[in-house]
Structure 1
Amino acid sequence: MNAGGGVVSRFGSCPYLAMLIMSGNAAASGFSLLERDAAGLGRAYAGQAAVVSPAAVAFNPAAIPETTALSGNLAQLWNQVNPEDAGTQATVPSLYGTHRNIGLGVYGAFGLATDYPEDWEGRYQALYSGINAARVQLTSSWSVTDSLRLGAGVFLQYFEAELTNAVPTPFGDGRFKVEGDDTGFGWSLGALWSPSEQLDLGLSFASKVDHRLSGTATSPLGKQDASVPLTTPEVIRAGLRWRARPALSLLAGASWTRWSRLQSLDIQLGNGLMLSEQHRWRDTWRLDLGGEYERGPWTFRLGTAWDQAPIRDDSYRTPRLPDSDRTWLAAGLSYATGPWIFSTSYAHLWFANSQGEHPPVNYSARSNILALGLERTW
């Protein structure tokens, strides 16, 4: 990004939420985070909208369990972005609780971090870029018939960001930085239909959230107030779970994200100037397929997914987020003993090689994700 920099993180203004997500490259398209459930990662989140679990607070409010349950998850992401080895690591925790058709969850919703060296060729476009967003969500579900459940939720979303880039001066390169944060509200709806004991169908919708990030812009000329309007996208998820055998379940799903809401990043400076970067993102699809096999106290999982990138063409690919289509391959297992369930999962993501025009470089990326989860029911 040029001197029109962007936004990024200040943990100080909301320290509790900031603890919930440490910057990292988004594992889902754009800068979305899906790492909200350790067990779900083991099947690449295939059919997640049709899965009954405490993590349904974050995926489909109609699928929260009717039992009392508490679930904690921790995902570690290792991201590699080239050129210049700009990827970072991230730790993404989540926590859910359910009781009598009421669910409460705290989880990461969006995240991004790329960090380039001070002397790289694209330093006037980007040096450091970081986005963090966490949600606190309250949901409820109710039975309409024996086979149909509906759910609804509301959530508070805290969003913070910081973007930096170099700027040329007569005395060498200086630095431009914009940082800010904001809190907004959104809502979700969901349905879970079980036409037979073998089949579950889930559908959910999560609303947009309108933010106006308020903070400061710092340049070699000094510091001034800055604000950035930003809307995070709506998401529609559909999922299917088919119990093909008593011990075998097959899952599939599709998700649509309205990334076309991000057409430009406009920074309003306190001196009246407006800095803008064009993105022209498009809406995206995610398709996933997976399975679970139960044997005694063990559950084994496999899954794969394809995630479409929101970038239309090379002219809109920036080093802040050099996104491209990605393919997931995941595996995991759970062990149940009494009221406890321990889960662990691993996923590898391949990103399609891509090119940018500002600067004209080739990009490549890959990610590894390891997640641990612990669930207790009563």
Structure 2
Amino acid sequence: MKRKECKCLTSQRNTQANCTRMVRKSIGVLTLLGLSFAAGGTAYGAGFSVFTQGAGPMGVANASVAHAEGLASIFYNPALQLEFEGINSEAGLTVLGPEKEVDSSVTGQSYSTEDHIYTPVHGAVSYRFSENGSLALTINNSFGLGSEYPEDTPFRYLATNSELTTWDINPSIAYRFLERLVVSAGLRGVSADTTLEKMIPLQSYGLADGRQKFEADGTGYGWNIGATLALNDKWSVGASYRSEVEIDLSGDVRFDLPAGTPAPLAAVFPSTSADAKFTLPAQFFAGVAFRPTSRWVVEAAARFEEYSSYDNLRVEVVQPIAGQTIMVIPKNWSNVWGYLFGASYLTDSGYRLSAGYLYEENPVPDETFEPGTSGLDKHTLTAGVGGEFRDIGWRISYAYDIYEDRDIENSGADATMNGTHSQKNQSLAISFAYHF
């Protein structure tokens, strides 16, 4: 390809200024600084929420807000910790193998994510210090994403690799009032670590694509509350709320430009320190549980996620990139609901069998749909089994996600995402519990 002759490459005066203007015109600042926290193809939940928090809750499709399916259920409602006597612990992980595919209407070809296995973990301990009081601590990967596409897709200038890992540490206290009412409150400290990669289009200068990589970490703080009310021996209700958490990320943006890039053009892409702000959404859970017999428990629940708080992503760099140091990237995500139904049964031999179904809306509008985005409505079928081996309790659960295909028909730069987007995922969770 013949190199484009322009002032950016030939002028001896104001070469960097000329390059800056040319790059902003031909590539666009949104493309250059278009770092995106796309909800990954890991299929954790709506947006970038992670709802694989224990094999017990997974077995009933997370319908574990008004009753406990093991200590891991206190992620969904911290008031449930009072159901456990003495000192208790639980830990485990979930193995995910998601796949995303785009049937592109731009090229007429199909593109799939690279094969990856993800293993979000969970842990909890509780101490019931009296008949009416309990303390607990949970550690969870409460939000996360992960998707990687080949570097030859038509949307490679939006994203090629998106990774986000969070650690959510949540101490809480629960207390029983009026015999049947339990109220709980806690504090949350959330750390985040992210890597975002994409390509930079330089063909108009006779060059191969460049690469951009953003790596950063940061922390944020929030709180949560929960309550359960036993209406009688058969019926109970529960509700909880997890506040939004604003994360301040600090890191750097690095560029890898092809050999032969002229110095004036390379100067437009300096590797530099960078900061970003984004908000993890508030979440509300509510459920009603029914125990027709001592062996059966059935629950219907709902969860609400306030993803409207993710209205933009603000990125600030120390050295100007294409003449810009601050970029506010619109996201305009929407609030979403999930509907959860589950049941579990205790057999004569002491095994607990469970099954569930959930439906989950997606928060991503067409106009800000991104390559890594799990922006598809989802149905999930779950099943689980649990028991005890000596003093150790165990639970194993399986989930099969059924996604609704989505057609994207945008215009302008966002048209590179146009086509039919599909996704599939299977999850296997295992948890172990010990009572001291």
Q: Which deviates the most, 209-218 or 326-335?
A: 209-218
What is the deviation of 1:277? 2.9
Q: How does 1:310-349 map to 2 (within 5 A)?
A: 310-312=363-365, 314-349=366-401
What is the deviation of 1:50? 3.3
Opposite residue 5 of structure 1, the aligned amino acid is: G
TM-score, normalised by the number of residues in structure 1: 0.92
Q: 1:269 to 1:119 in 2, by over 3 A?
A: same
Is 2:190 aligned against 1:157?
yes
| SS of match in other structure, 1:179 | strand
| SS of match in other structure, 1:32 | coil
Structure 2: distance between partners of 1:70 and 1:124: 45
Deviation readout 1:163-197 (Å, 9 max, x if unpaired): 11111222210011222111111111010100111
Q: What residue number does 1:70 align with?
A: 89
What is the deviation of 1:119? 1.2
Structure with greater strand percent: 1
Deviation readout 1:1-52 (Å, 9 max, x if unpaired): 82223268xxxxxxxxxxxxxx861421001001111111111111335326
Opposite residue 373 of structure 1, the aligned amino acid is: S
Spell out structure 1 runs of 4+ moving beyond 6 A: none
Structure 2: distance between partners of 1:254 and 1:362: 29
**Count of aligned residue pairs for this structure pair:** 363
1:223 to 271, 277, 281: 271
Deviation readout 1:46-72 (Å, 9 max, x if unpaired): 133532642243221111134311111
What is the deviation of 1:204? 0.4
Opposite residue 242 of structure 1, the aligned amino acid is: F
Structure 2: distance between partners of 1:249 and 1:333: 14
Structure 1: distance between partners of 2:185 and 2:126: 14
Deviation readout 1:84-104 (Å, 9 max, x if unpaired): 221632011111111121111
Q: What residue number does 1:99 align with?
A: 127
Q: How does 1:286-297 map to 2 (within 5 A)?
A: 286-296=338-348, 297=350
Q: What residue number does 1:186 align with?
A: 222
Q: What residue number does 1:243 align with?
A: 291
Structure 2: distance between partners of 1:213 and 1:355: 33
2:44 to 20, 27, 40: 27
Structure 2: distance between partners of 1:27 and 1:211: 20
Is 2:427 aligned against 1:365?
no
Opposite residue 93 of structure 2, the aligned amino acid is: L
Instruction: List gaps (5 residues or longer) in structure 2.
Output: 1-29, 103-110, 129-133, 258-268
Q: 1:36 to 1:131 in 2, by over 3 A?
A: same
Q: What residue number does 1:85 align with?
A: 112
Opposite residue 85 of structure 1, the aligned amino acid is: S
- State the Cα RMSD in Å: 1.7
Q: 1:175 to 1:191 in 2, by over 3 A?
A: same
| SS of match in other structure, 1:2 | helix
Q: What residue number does 2:33 align with?
A: 4
Instruction: List gaps (5 residues or longer) in structure 1.
Output: 9-22
Equivalent residues of 2:159, 2:199 under 8 A apart: yes
Q: How does 1:11-22 map to 2 (within 5 A)?
A: none
Equivalent residues of 1:49, 1:204 under 8 A apart: no
Equivalent residues of 1:293, 1:299 under 8 A apart: yes
Q: How does 1:193-204 map to 2 (within 5 A)?
A: 193-204=229-240
Opposite residue 309 of structure 1, the aligned amino acid is: N
What is the deviation of 1:208? 0.9
Structure 2: distance between partners of 1:337 and 1:197: 29
What is the deviation of 1:339? 3.6
Structure 2: distance between partners of 1:368 and 1:233: 25
| SS of match in other structure, 2:52 | coil
Q: 1:201 to 1:339 in 2, by over 3 A?
A: farther
Opposite residue 351 of structure 1, the aligned amino acid is: Y
| SS of match in other structure, 1:5 | coil
Q: 1:322 to 1:43 in 2, by over 3 A?
A: closer
Q: What residue number does 1:42 align with?
A: 59
Structure 2: distance between partners of 1:299 and 1:55: 15
Q: Which deviates the most, 243-252 or 185-194?
A: 243-252
What is the deviation of 1:105? 1.3
Opposite residue 64 of structure 2, the aligned amino acid is: G
Equivalent residues of 2:278, 2:312 under 8 A apart: no
What is the deviation of 1:328? 0.6
Equivalent residues of 1:37, 1:373 under 8 A apart: yes
Structure 2: distance between partners of 1:355 and 1:273: 34
| SS of match in other structure, 2:97 | strand
What is the deviation of 1:337? 4.4
| SS of match in other structure, 1:55 | helix
Q: 1:52 to 1:151 in 2, by over 3 A?
A: farther
Structure 1: distance between partners of 2:71 and 2:148: 35
Q: 1:200 to 1:49 in 2, by over 3 A?
A: closer
Equivalent residues of 1:62, 1:151 under 8 A apart: yes
TM-score, normalised by the number of residues in structure 2: 0.80
Structure 2: distance between partners of 1:57 and 1:246: 22
| SS of match in other structure, 1:364 | strand
Structure with greater helix percent: 2
Q: 1:113 to 1:250 in 2, by over 3 A?
A: same
Is 2:335 aligned against 1:302?
no
Q: In terms of Rg, which structure is larger?
A: 2
